[in-house]
Structure 1
């Protein structure tokens, strides 16, 4: 159903009884539950998750390492009273291999993109340090604690929350430079030029996808250049015919931002800028400097990859922590 470079994730069924038992009947794996499951409880576990698939479309999933062709754990999304939860159980022999973090990331990405959620939670026993460390690697923060009643017993749990931030980009993904980006820009540029005609001066490919060799989010940045703001209303009207909506300057001087519901082109950020506007001039300065300085391209790529790991679901913090590097080059 879902996959990453290393993992394949699918729904469980009763033929998985043996593999699921290796987890649920291992007292070390199940120490947070304070008991190993019986055969009957394992069967009930499978039935319960099949019911979740039917009712909610998700539950605990089977996680398989594609390279060793082995079930390594169960990871998934669970509807709880405290919110949509992320859960992970990994076989004892596969602890400390990054499976929980990688599998949970796949499921969280799915929840954000397909279920359109912006908040997920995990309830974890305070002594479960391994699970807490996974939650922290996922960007989750402790927000509360409560007593969870399980088998008639009150068990203290800490609640960790992941709140996705950012206006348009919900997941920060940085990939290696792709030569196709420049061709995707040219296709978009051609359509825009036909619609905008002599209302504009030119269209520029800016941002990280415009610099050869620079790692970037796979999303174009495009500046439409006008003589001055007297042309803006006409451009706004023409862009509206293509499905773009004017958002204003979003508190950035010298550029007007636009959004779209659907597009036939590669995902992109679109801006309209006066030729002497600060926004446009800084875009060009930054792009052209990087094009002439490959050492800075590598430095910026490394920085972005590092920040993307730290702030995968917090695009605002990701952008804020790039500011000093960008400002240094512009200055």
Structure 2
């Protein structure tokens, strides 16, 4: 279980690898799931995403992790901790993105809460953020459910992005 990171009541979070490309494409090729991202992703861009994630594991010891159903092993999405630049400072972000067929079941909140606890308890981080498009109400609700509050609005990725933050 070298790839295992953490688990919750319903979920397992594990390290991403190249064979996850097809699963991730279920999210990345869905225009609705990718509404708040610059564009949908093709197979090559998905491989680049995985490479970026693997690089984060090496450089930072964290990254986005694959989220699966604890009982069935079904792919649900990705959630994890990634470095993001905010106003010239690297902050550790709780990021999450799930397949549309499982939206509304609380998986994002459950996984994000587990990542928050992992970041504070295992990694001893003092602060974590989530960068969320100001119009992405479902993601904002997840951030709020795990105790985050808007710290500021920045311009990133060509648009207004809310910086949700929580301190330990």
Q: TM-score, normalised by structure 2?
A: 0.92
> Secondary structure of 1:58's partner?
coil
Deviation at residue 89 of structure 1 after TM alignment: 0.1
Alignment equivalent of 1:113, drawn from 121, 129, 133:
121
Deviation at residue 47 of structure 1 after TM alignment: 0.5
Query: In the aligned structure 1, how far is the partner of 2:126 from the partner of 2:44?
Result: 36
Segments of structure 1 that go 5 or more residues without pairing to the other structure are 165-331
* 1:30 and 2:23 aligned: no
- Counterpart in 2 of 1:45? 49
**1:147-226 to 2 correspondences below 5 Å:** 147-149=155-157, 154-164=158-168
Select the structure with the greater relative contact order (CA < 8 A; seq sep ≥ 6). 2
The two structures, once aligned, show a CA RMSD in angstroms of 0.9
Query: In the aligned structure 1, how far is the partner of 2:85 from the partner of 2:46?
Result: 23
**1:1-331 to 2 correspondences below 5 Å:** 1-82=5-86, 83-149=91-157, 154-164=158-168
Deviation at residue 38 of structure 1 after TM alignment: 1.3
Q: Deviations over 1:82-117 (max 9, x none)?
A: 211110001000000101010011111111112111
> Secondary structure of 1:88's partner?
strand
Segments of structure 2 that go 5 or more residues without pairing to the other structure are none
Q: Which has the larger radius of gyration?
A: 1
Runs of 4+ in 1 over 2 A off after TM superposition: none
- Counterpart in 2 of 1:246? none
Report if the CA contact (8 A) 1:76-1:107 is conserved.
Answer: yes
Query: In the aligned structure 2, how far is the partner of 1:148 from the partner of 1:9?
Result: 28
Q: TM-score, normalised by structure 1?
A: 0.47
Deviation at residue 68 of structure 1 after TM alignment: 2.9
* Number of equivalenced pairs: 160
| Larger proportion of strand | 2
| Larger proportion of helix | 1
